[in-house]
Amino acid sequence: MAYKINAADCTGCGACEAECPSRAIRMKGDVYAINPDKCTECAGKFDSPQCVGACPSDCISKL
């Protein structure tokens, strides 16, 4: 039950971090990463994963 950022395609824009209701997204070096232990897939808060919708690079997918 978590989403994952494909680091190779992440530009480090930070758009996803601001949208995450679980504070599961943090900068890791030059890119961002999702902590799978914290990601709830936005269940109970939103109907769709907010980070996926916010990412302009389309680099977030299901683990």
In the complex, least distance from residue 26 CB atom to ligand SF4, rounded to whole angstroms: 10
Distance from C-alpha of 47 to C-alpha of 9, rounded to nearest angstrom: 25
Q: Does 33 bind ligand SF4 (CB under 6 A)?
A: no
Q: Does 14 bind ligand SF4 (CB under 6 A)?
A: yes
* Residues 6 or more apart in contact with residue 19 via CB below 8 angstroms: 50, 51, 53, 54
Choose which of 8, 16, 26, 63 interacts with ligand SF4 (CB under 6 A): 16
Nearest to 17 by CA among 28, 44, 9, 8: 28
- Chain contacts with ligand SF4 (rule: CB under 6 A): 3, 5, 10-16, 19-22, 24-25, 32, 34, 39-42, 49-51, 54-55, 57, 59-60
